[in-house]
């Protein structure tokens, strides 16, 4: 099931007129640039995809808000919740594409986890795990958005100490293009 279908179902009726995602430069996987602030270079290529803007059936570009509820894309177990740059990140381990040395994980970042979203809890596809975090107190003005990362982690990874920078260690975390799993309609667009 496409992520947008799950997200729209979780946010009825506010997203009933969703048509497709809109991505500005810097929002996509492996982008070297920021899409906020000075629009300069990132310290590292983007580890995921930032969901923020969408086009409705009338052709208007709208944005997600901090009230947007976030569903789990796949069944899995919450392995870690930690502070990120704009809120909390939720790391979920999935029992798919597992190998002897790697496990599949999703990271939902810049969120406010739901009360029931706790480390060790099993979540099913479509379960509401969080809302998008409020970014108004950020030192750099940035729209509320969901950062989604998909990857395979080493069986040697210690979930208890996992932090954002661990995604940049390819021995521990093999980043995958989220669009290989999401399969949602989208368009790239120019600057804001």
What pLDDT is recorded for position 190? 59
* Mean of the per-residue pLDDT values of the chain: 91
Query: Can you give the pLDDT at residue 158?
Result: 93
Q: Which of 191, 66, 36 is nearest to 132 (CA)?
A: 66
| Residue 21 structural domain | 3-66+182-188
Give the model's pLDDT for residue 3.
87
In this model, does residue 164 exceed pLDDT 80? yes
Asked if residue 143 belongs to a domain, the reply is: no
CA 156 to chain CA centroid, Å, is: 24
- 7 and 79, same domain (yes or no): no
| Residue 62 and residue 73 in one domain | no
Quick one: 33 and 120 in the same domain? no
C-alpha closest to that of 37 among 140, 134, 136, 110: 140
Contact yes or no for 91/105 (Cβ under 8 A): yes
User: Are 53 and 85 contained in the same domain?
Assistant: no
* Count of residues making up the chain: 192
Q: Which pLDDT value is given to residue 32?
A: 97
Q: Which long-range contacts (CB under 8 A, 24 or more apart) does 178-183 make?
A: 178/29, 178/48, 178/49, 178/148, 178/149, 178/150, 179/29, 179/49, 180/150, 181/73, 181/74, 181/150, 182/2, 182/3, 182/49, 182/73, 182/148, 183/2
What whole-number distance in Å separates Cα of residue 129 and Cα of residue 4?
15
Res. 188: pLDDT tops 90? no
- Average pLDDT score over residue span 11-34: 93
Could you read off the pLDDT of 88-98 as tens digits, one per residue? 999 999 987 66
Residues 36 and 78 in one domain: no
In degrees and rounded to multiples of 5, residue 100 shows phi and psi of -60, -35
At 182 the pLDDT is 77
- 191 pLDDT more than 70: no
Task: Tell me if 142 is assigned to some domain.
Answer: no
Indicate the pTM of the whole model.
Answer: 0.93
**Predicted local distance difference test score (pLDDT) of residue 1:** 47
Contact 144, 135 (CB under 8 A): yes
Is the pLDDT at 78 greater than 60? The verdict is yes
- Residue 21's pLDDT band, with cuts at 50, 70 and 90, is very high
Q: Which of 121-125, 136-140, 159-163 has the highest mean pLDDT?
A: 121-125
């Amino acid at each position: 099931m496409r992520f947008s279908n799950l997200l729209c179902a979780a946010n009825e009726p506010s997203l009933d007129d969703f048509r497709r995602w809109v991505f500005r430069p810097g929002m996509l996987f492996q982008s070297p640039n920021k899409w906020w602030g000075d629009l300069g270079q990132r310290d590292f290529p983007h580890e995921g995809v930032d969901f923020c803007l969408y086009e409705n059936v009338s052709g208007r570009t709208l944005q997600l808000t901090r009230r947007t509820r976030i569903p789990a894309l796949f069944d899995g177990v919450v392995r870690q919740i930690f502070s990120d740059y704009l809120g909390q990140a939720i790391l979920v381990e999935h029992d798919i594409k597992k190998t002897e040395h790697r496990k599949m994980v999703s990271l939902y970042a810049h969120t406010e986890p739901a009360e029931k979203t706790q480390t060790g809890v099993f979540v099913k596809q479509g379960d509401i795990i969080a809302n998008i975090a409020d970014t108004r107190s950020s030192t750099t003005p940035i729209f509320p958005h969901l950062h989604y990362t998909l990857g395979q982690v080493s069986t040697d990874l210690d979930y208890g100490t996992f932090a954002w920078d661990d995604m940049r260690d390819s021995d521990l975390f093999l980043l995958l293009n989220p669009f290989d799993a999401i399969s949602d309609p989208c368009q790239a667009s120019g600057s804001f």
